[in-house]
Amino acid sequence: SQQGEEDPQALSIQEGENATMNCSYKTSINNLQWYRQNSGRGLVHLILIRSNEREKHSGRLRVTLDTSKKSSSLLITASRAADTASYFCALRLNSGNTPLVFGKGTRLSVIA
């Protein structure tokens, strides 16, 4: 399939700890995007990393991309209870103008 696969499916950590989520994929991509979704709400774009980039930062977020391993990771440092949400990776494929393809997401719970 063309979608990314997030790992783990669910993650529970204590406030202040770091949270790491991974996304693996099988096809060639132009870019990879991470989105966050609070329960029952819409998705919010977090960060976009292009295929020629290896690492990007945004506040407490750090995203890496390894195109040779076809994988990406999202690190949230010093997590807060408000970071509790589902996190999705979305792939922009190289095959023409195609829509984003989303994975099933990682459910993160940050316990205060």
Rule CB under 8 A: which residues touch another protein?
3, 30-31, 33, 35, 40-45, 48, 50, 88, 90, 92, 97-104
Nearer to another protein, 32 or 110 (CB): 32
CB of 77 to another protein, least distance (A): 23
Strand residues in the chain grouped as ranges (E): 5-7, 10-14, 19-24, 29-37, 43-50, 55-58, 61-66, 71-76, 85-93, 101-102, 106-111
* 52 vs 75: CA distance, rounded Å: 19
Nearer to another protein, 42 or 112 (CB): 42
Q: Which residues on adjacent β-strands are paired with residue 63?
A: 56, 74
CB of 83 to another protein, least distance (A): 18
Nearer to another protein, 3 or 79 (CB): 3
